[in-house]
């Protein structure tokens, strides 16, 4: 591991300034939250920052209510605290379920909300510095396309990259239309989800729209009354501490047997947490039946372009979407 300097930020502006200074002198600077992904990547040699700016002591570790019934979640809040928060459990159960489905209790006790959104892909080629990888070394190639791609993307991928985004938490946040609050060298701004994460295109080295020195300070959940009837379902290769093969976050508003509104997002299938907008549009005003759910899922997944060894994800995603929506109907 390359030697690095360590700084603990006292406030947001000093954190942004320290990160900017580290980048300006060529050392390379990154923010340190829980470190559950960053430290692993440093040990592997995938990233080698010269400066770590510790932001864990900044006052962004709580949950506040917003006008209309939404929530503002601090980016430094630990995942385990988020999952246990009574307002999150009551108003957005799929978010609690997604957080609990991720990693292990020990990791959730360390990991932060902001860091969870920014974790890097677990593609084996990205993590192995002896292999080419366009995300790690732009222009070197994507061996996953003709190699081990069983658990990689089937939607939105490119010739340059077929990696998937690993976060469970990001999937319900995309479904809910969460708003990410950012402080950076250029000031404050907000970025909606979807919108924070990027499809790979020809520049897969850029996972998000964040600019150098940008710091996530909070995630805002807009009011969505029918999110009290929501669910997160994750299919994985083992029962714990495994990333999603396919996951679904869904909320459903049904009245008199008809779908008034819905929110659906998929995980484990794309370079981003994938908002299933085609499926949502197909379902609004449709009967809340298995046939309608299947048709909506088919419309969403018609854009999938799987590789030979991950084509199974397409029918798997279809079945998980249908089963999750049926469970919500039965529970209503």
Q: How confident is the model over 40-94, as pLDDT tens digits?
A: 999 999 999 999 999 999 999 999 999 889 999 999 999 999 999 999 999 999 9
Could you tell me the pLDDT band of residue 207, with boundaries at 50, 70 and 90?
A: very high
* Residue range 172-185: mean pLDDT, rounded: 98
Identify any residues that bridge with 253 across adjacent strands, giving them in sequence order. 261
Which CATH architecture does the domain made up of 5-54 adopt?
A: 2-Layer Sandwich (3.30)
* Residue range 281-300: mean pLDDT, rounded: 98
Q: Is the pLDDT of residue 23 over 90?
A: no
What rounded mean pLDDT belongs to the chain? Answer: 96
* Residue range 184-204: mean pLDDT, rounded: 97
pLDDT of residue 231: 98
For residue 289, CA distances in Å to 202, 240, 248, 263, 297 come to 40, 32, 18, 16, 12
pLDDT of residue 314: 98
Q: Extract the tokens encoding 2.
A: 């390359």
* Residue range 203-208: mean pLDDT, rounded: 97
Q: Is the pLDDT of residue 24 over 80?
A: no
C-alpha angle 102-162-322 in degrees, rounded to nearest 5:
55
Could you tell me the pLDDT band of residue 332, with boundaries at 50, 70 and 90?
A: confident
Residue 46: exposed, middle, or buried by beta-carbon count in 10 A (0-12, 13-18, 19+)?
middle
Residues 44/127, Cβ–Cβ less than 8 Å: yes
- Closest of 22, 49, 19 to residue 182, by C-alpha: 19
Judge if 5-54 and 231-331 fold alike in CATH terms. no
CA distance linking residue 98 with residue 168, whole number of Å: 5
CA distance linking residue 283 with residue 144, whole number of Å: 35
Helices 290-301 and 313-331 cross at an angle (nearest 10°) of 140
Q: Is the pLDDT of residue 305 over 80?
A: yes
pLDDT of residue 113: 97
Could you tell me the pLDDT band of residue 183, with boundaries at 50, 70 and 90?
A: very high
Cβ contacts of 315 within 8 Å, gap of 6 or more: none
**Percentage of the chain modeled with pLDDT above 70:** 99
Residues 221/73, Cβ–Cβ less than 8 Å: yes
Residues 59/11, Cβ–Cβ less than 8 Å: no
Helix (H, G, I), strand (E, B) or coil at 228: helix
pLDDT of residue 89: 98
Q: pLDDT (tens digit, 9 = 90+) per residue, 219-250?
A: 999 999 999 999 999 999 998 889 999 999 99
CA distance linking residue 105 with residue 100, whole number of Å: 8
Helix (H, G, I), strand (E, B) or coil at 8: strand
Could you tell me the pLDDT band of residue 280, with boundaries at 50, 70 and 90?
A: very high
Could you tell me the pLDDT band of residue 26, with boundaries at 50, 70 and 90?
A: low
Helices (H), the chain: 12-24, 38-44, 79-84, 86-91, 93-101, 105-110, 113-117, 124-127, 170-176, 277-283, 290-301, 313-331
Q: Structure pTM?
A: 0.96
Give me the residue spans of the domains in the chain.
Answer: 5-54, 231-331
- The third-level CATH classification (topology) of the domain covering 231-331 is Enolase-like; domain 1 (3.30.390)
Could you tell me the pLDDT band of residue 20, with boundaries at 50, 70 and 90?
A: confident
Q: Is the pLDDT of residue 109 over 70?
A: yes
Could you tell me the pLDDT band of residue 1, with boundaries at 50, 70 and 90?
A: confident
Q: Is the pLDDT of residue 325 over 90?
A: yes
């Amino acid at each position: 591991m390359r030697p690095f300097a360590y700084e603990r930020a006292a406030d947001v502006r000093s954190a942004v300034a320290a990160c900017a200074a580290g980048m300006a002198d060529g050392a390379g600077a990154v923010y340190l939250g829980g470190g559950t992904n960053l430290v692993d990547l440093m040990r592997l040699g995938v990233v080698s920052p010269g400066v770590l700016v510790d932001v864990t002591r900044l006052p962004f570790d709580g949950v506040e209510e917003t006008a209309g019934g939404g929530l503002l979640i601090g980016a430094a809040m630990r995942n385990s605290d988020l999952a246990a928060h009574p307002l999150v459990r009551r108003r957005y159960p799929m978010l609690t379920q997604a957080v609990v489905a991720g990693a292990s209790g020990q990791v959730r006790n360390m990991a932060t909300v902001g860091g969870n959104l920014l974790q890097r892909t677990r593609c084996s080629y990205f993590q192995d510095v002896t292999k080419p990888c366009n995300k790690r070394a732009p222009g070197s190639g994507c061996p996953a396309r003709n190699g081990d791609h069983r658990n990689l993307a089937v939607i939105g991928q490119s010739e340059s990259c077929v990696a998937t985004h690993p976060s469970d938490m990001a999937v319900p946040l995309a479904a809910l239309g969460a708003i990410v609050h950012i402080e950076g060298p250029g000031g404050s701004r907000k970025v909606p989800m979807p919108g924070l994460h990027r499809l790979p295109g020809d520049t897969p080295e850029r996972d998000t729209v964040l600019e150098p020195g940008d710091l996530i300070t909070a995630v805002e959940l807009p009011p969505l009354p029918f999110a009290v009837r929501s669910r997160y379902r994750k299919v994985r290769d083992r029962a714990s501490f495994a990333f999603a093969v396919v996951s679904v976050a869904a909320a459903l508003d049904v009245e008199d047997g008809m779908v008034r509104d819905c929110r659906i997002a998929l995980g484990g299938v794309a370079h981003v947490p994938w908002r299933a907008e085609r499926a949502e549009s197909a379902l609004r005003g449709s009967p809340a039946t298995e046939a309608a759910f299947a048709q909506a899922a088919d419309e969403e997944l018609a854009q999938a372009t799987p590789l030979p060894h991950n084509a199974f994800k397409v029918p798997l995603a279809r079945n998980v979407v249908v089963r999750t929506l049926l469970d919500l109907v039965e529970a209503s």
